Every structure is written in C-alpha cells, then in structure tokens.
Structure 1
Amino acid sequence: MSRISVFSAPFLLGFDSFEERVDRLAKSADGYPPYNIERTVDADGTEHFLVSIAVAGFAAGELEVMAEDNQIVVRGKQKDDPNRQYLHRGIAARQFQRSFLLADGMVVKDATLGHGMLVVAIERPKTPKTARRIDIRSV
C-alpha cells in the first residue's frame, strides 16, 4: 500500500527530500534533551536564532554539532566510567541525537557550551525577493 502525503501533490516539485527529512525528525523526537529556540530580528530584517540545548554533564568532547543536508544534528555520547561506584545513580550516562530542520538560506554561525547549555547560533540573512520573466522558446 503506498503512502500519500501532502508533499506528493503535483504542484510541489522537488520536495521529496524534504519529506524524508521531516520523517527523520519525527522519529528522533523523544524529548531528550530539552531545548529552547529563541528568535530575534535586526532592523535590516536579518533573523537570528539561538537553539539552547540542556546538556548538563556532557563535556565539549562528548558533543558533536553537524550542519548537514539543511539540518543541524546534535549528538551527545558519554562513556560510563567503570571505576566509579555509585550509592545512588539518578543521572544516567545517556546518548542522544537531536535534529533541527533548517530552511534554505539559513547559516549556522557557531556553537558554545557553558553552564550545562549548548547554544547553537543560526542566522537567516535578509534576501531580496526576485522575480524574472522566462522566455518561451519554440521547438
């Protein structure tokens, strides 16, 4: 049985890869780690986004931020130290992968880690709207 989606409409050309990314994001949405997304707009119309992810207990070497295929993928991988003996363990050494889909034209500026928060800065520069006439050729 074939699956019908909103992206299969005949007037949406070239959105098949976008649909695959949305499916990938839906599968990775387990709620861990929690995050915030803030948006600000400059006077010139440039948008700035800050994605803040709560990664307490992770060192910079245990985190990876990748900008790939119009998305940001944040991965965290902690190694369990076998030499530590816990009387109570309420904080697990847990791996995660969190993805954020980016629109065309968005630029990942940098990522900083401080006070248990990983902050990824993203910018969408203001782009002028363009229209052009397409000449019709006879064959």
Structure 2
Amino acid sequence: MRTTLDFAPLFRSSIGFDRMLNALETASRVATIDNWPPYDIVKSGEDDYRITMAVAGFTDADLTLTQEQNLLVVTGQKSGDDGQYLHRGIAGRAFERRFELADHVKVTGASLVNGLLTIELKREIPEEMKPRRIAIATDAARPQGEVRQIEAEKRAA
C-alpha cells in the first residue's frame, strides 16, 4: 500500500523552501524505479561530488551529458548493430538518467574509462553569497578631537 504525502500545509507555513518541497513531491510521484545503468554518488570533498555510472558497451560518442539549471541529464543511445547476436548478455538499450542538482553545483569534467562514466561535480558558491564578517565601529575608532553634539533649532520665546 502506497501513501502519498500532502505538502500543501508546508507550502502555507514556510517561506523559501518551495524548491525542496517541489523536489519531495516529485520524488513521491515516481511510479517505477529504473535501476539501469547502475551508478554511485560519492562526496569526495567539502564541495566536490562524483557520479560513476557503469555503461559497459557504450562509447563516448554514444553518451550525451547535458546540464540544465539544477538538472543533469545523462543519455545513452547505441549506434548500429555489428551483426546477428546468438546471445546478448551486455545490455545495450537506450537510457536516460536524471540527477537533480542543488543550487550552484556545476559539472567540472567527465571521463569514460573501462566502461565507467565518471562525472565530476563541484559546488561553487558565489562570493556575494558566502558568509562575511561585518566590522562593528566603536567610539574608540572615532578621532579624539571630534565631539558629538546634537543640534537643535533655536526658538524665539
């Protein structure tokens, strides 16, 4: 028995979490899980990630990687057949694998070695979004000769 979650109350009471709630809602609607080709996702550093996919039988010309905003799409389509198969044990079917990416995650490289497609990713937060320390001015920082005085209008009595 499958239950679906209603995220509507969370949309009403939260601000700025709409992308996360949409991703949860999308994940809950997935009907069938296609687990081919198999893949691993590894966090290799503070802001570095690596996706490794087993794509035996595919060449770099058969694979396409596309990065859209917050989405990485990996597709594979074999070119022509080389003959009549008596037994086909190596899967060569077309596939499309989608990976949701967080904000500011970019693909930095990809390689295909020994049937493993390795995709390197890095989260690059812009300087203006990084936390920064704000200096607090004190009276000691003010020049000594300066006297603070509040000016007021003079009124005739």
For normalisation by structure 2, the TM-score amounts to 0.65
Structure with bigger strand share is 1
Q: What RMSD over aligned residues (CA atoms) do the two structures have, in Å?
A: 3.1
Question: Shift in Å at residue 101 of structure 1?
Answer: 1.0
Question: Shift in Å at residue 79 of structure 1?
Answer: 3.2
User: Contact between 2:56 and 2:90, CA under 8 Å: does it hold in 1?
Assistant: no
User: Contact between 2:7 and 2:25, CA under 8 Å: does it hold in 1?
Assistant: no
Greater Rg, structure 1 or structure 2?
2
With a CA cutoff of 8 Å and minimum separation of 6, indicate the structure with the bigger relative contact order. Answer: 1
Which residue identity does 2:34 align to in structure 1? D
Identity of aligned pairs, percent?
A: 30
Asked if 1:61 corresponds to 2:61, the answer is yes
Q: Secondary structure at the match of 2:44?
A: strand
Unaligned runs of 5+ in 1: 133-139
Query: CA separation in 2, counterparts of 1:109 and 1:75?
Result: 18
Which residue identity does 2:54 align to in structure 1? A
Question: Shift in Å at residue 20 of structure 1?
Answer: 6.0
> Of residues 127, 130, 137 in structure 2, which corresponds to 1:128?
130
Question: Shift in Å at residue 4 of structure 1?
Answer: 3.0
Q: Deviations over 1:93-126 (max 9, x none)?
A: 2011111111111121011111101111001136
Matched with 2:7 is 5
User: Contact between 1:77 and 1:96, CA under 8 Å: does it hold in 2?
Assistant: yes
Which residue identity does 1:92 align to in structure 2? A
How many residue pairs align between the two structures? 125
Q: Cα distance 1:27–1:113, how it changes in 2: closer, same or farther (>3 A)?
A: farther
Matched with 1:113 is 112
For normalisation by structure 1, the TM-score amounts to 0.72
Asked if 1:35 corresponds to 2:39, the answer is yes
Q: Deviations over 1:19-68 (max 9, x none)?
A: 26962794674111100111122xxxx41111000011001111011111
Question: Shift in Å at residue 15 of structure 1?
Answer: 2.1
